[in-house]
């Protein structure tokens, strides 16, 4: 299926973009769901993300015997039970669901668990997470369609582990969420970690569930037995907001977005500072209402080590910027839903710019003239590449293949995008 990318032509010259309400955060929602599952008692959430990744987490928890229900926009989770299931868990393409569930199931499940999902899910790195779990007695038996996880024969009182987190911070997060559910908690150590801002996000949410975890340089101290259920409103998604913020920067228009928490630990909150550094103006018009005004005044110079998921949208923005850009800290992008580093370079060229990939960590972008007719852009079944193509299409038009891949984290993205543009 093809979708014609809407250009910035619907609104009168100089008019503001229509306000946007962003969905809930996938990163927060899946953390909160698992914390609610392991905390004894009843938790309730409002504002959780309704999308594929969070749906797979909710269904997995329900299939594991947890009470999970939804009514009038409120999710209720009955936590504290030991997970058990006789049916396969389908996890789609959700890396957070797989990596967050694995430690909990490996140490707490009553019997073997069958895990299945999209092929790409099991191609992404898991070894550094499986190594400490296997040392504790769990067994991982992969096959062509997924894997069997056979839990450790005895649940440890606490965890004391050295973890190789260079490929993903999710390995540490999964272990931390499980450690908080053990009587003695745990200590996790590492020498290097990808996207360290996500550890701060996990710490923030552990504390909101009563676990006063302490994050230090190369060490995480996690008290055990302290988790309590919560009744919470979950925050809006800074990752989902990124493309809309980029739209204001590309078009030179003003945009209002909500609800966004300026104090949230989501790493993609850095989008605001990156656009300010490139000449955009921002201000908070309410506790969770952000105003951003473009246009971009210069190219981007950004280290995205803490927020690599911004890479594709910023690559599209760089292709349309008034000067050259350099995006660094992208070494985890080849390991995402697709090789996002290669796909981002392809997108820049599709938008008429020049792209140079340096090693596995840096993308240099030189904007070029508006491209002529060309083949549709293929986002490689990756939601963030589709978001990035939408940004580029504001000025360069074109078509995108498989537009429904946005359902992974933002099912109504295209409707909201067109609403922003008044078309």
Residue 358 · residue 364 · CB < 8 Å:
yes
Residue with tokens 């473009």: 294
CB atoms within 10 A of CB 70: 12
Largest interatomic CA distance in the chain: 67
Active site residue 268: no
Residue with tokens 């710490």: 203
The CA distance from 263 to 87, in Å, is 40
- Active-site choice (309, 378, 382, 402): 309
Residue 52 · residue 404 · CB < 8 Å:
no
Q: Which distant-in-sequence residues (6+ apart) come within 8 Å of 416 by Cβ?
A: 20, 21, 244, 410
The CA distance from 315 to 274, in Å, is 13
- Count of residues in the chain: 423
Residue 113 · residue 85 · CB < 8 Å:
yes
| Residues with catalytic function | 309
């Amino acid at each position: 299926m093809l979708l014609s990318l809407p250009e910035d032509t619907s609104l009168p010259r100089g008019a503001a973009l229509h306000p946007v309400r962003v969905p809930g955060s996938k990163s927060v929602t899946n953390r909160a769901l698992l914390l609610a599952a392991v905390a004894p008692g009843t938790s309730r959430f409002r504002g959780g993300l309704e999308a594929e990744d969070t749906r797979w987490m909710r269904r997995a928890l329900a299939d594991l015997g947890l009470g999970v229900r939804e009514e009038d926009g409120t999710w209720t989770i009955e936590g504290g039970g030991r997970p058990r299931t006789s049916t396969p868990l389908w996890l789609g393409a959700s890396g957070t669901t797989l990596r967050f569930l694995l430690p909990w199931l490996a140490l707490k499940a009553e019997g073997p668990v069958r895990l299945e999902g999209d092929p790409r899910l099991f191609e992404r790195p898991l070894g550094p997470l499986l190594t400490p779990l296997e040392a504790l007695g769990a067994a991982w038996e992969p096959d062509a369609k997924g894997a069997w996880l056979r839990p450790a024969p005895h649940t440890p009182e606490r965890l004391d582990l050295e973890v190789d987190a260079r490929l993903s911070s999710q390995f540490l997060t999964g272990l931390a969420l499980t450690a908080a559910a053990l009587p003695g908690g745990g200590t996790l150590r590492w020498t290097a970690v990808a996207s360290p801002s996500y550890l701060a996000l996990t710490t923030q949410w552990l504390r909101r569930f009563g676990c006063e975890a302490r994050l230090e340089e190369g060490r995480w101290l996690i008290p055990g037995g302290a988790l309590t259920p919560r009744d919470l409103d979950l925050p809006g998604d800074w990752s989902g907001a990124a493309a809309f913020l980029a739209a204001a920067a590309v078009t030179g228009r003003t945009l209002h977005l909500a609800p966004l928490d300026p104090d949230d630990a989501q790493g993609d909150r850095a989008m605001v500072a990156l656009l300010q550094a490139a000449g955009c103006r921002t201000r908070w018009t309410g506790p969770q209402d952000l105003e951003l005004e473009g246009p971009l005044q210069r190219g981007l110079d950004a280290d995205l080590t803490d927020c690599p998921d911004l890479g594709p949208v910023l690559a599209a923005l760089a292709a349309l910027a008034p000067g050259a850009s350099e995006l660094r800290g992208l070494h985890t992008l080849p390991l995402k839903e697709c090789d996002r580093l290669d796909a981002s370079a392809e997108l820049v060229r599709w938008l008429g710019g020049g792209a140079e990939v340096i090693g596995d960590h840096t993308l240099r972008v030189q904007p070029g003239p508006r491209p002529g007719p060309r083949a549709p852009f293929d986002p490689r079944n990756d939601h963030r590449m589709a978001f990035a193509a939408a940004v580029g299409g504001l000025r360069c038009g074109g078509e995108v293949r498989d537009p429904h891949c946005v359902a992974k984290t933002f099912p109504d993205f295209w409707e909201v995008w067109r609403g922003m543009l008044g078309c």
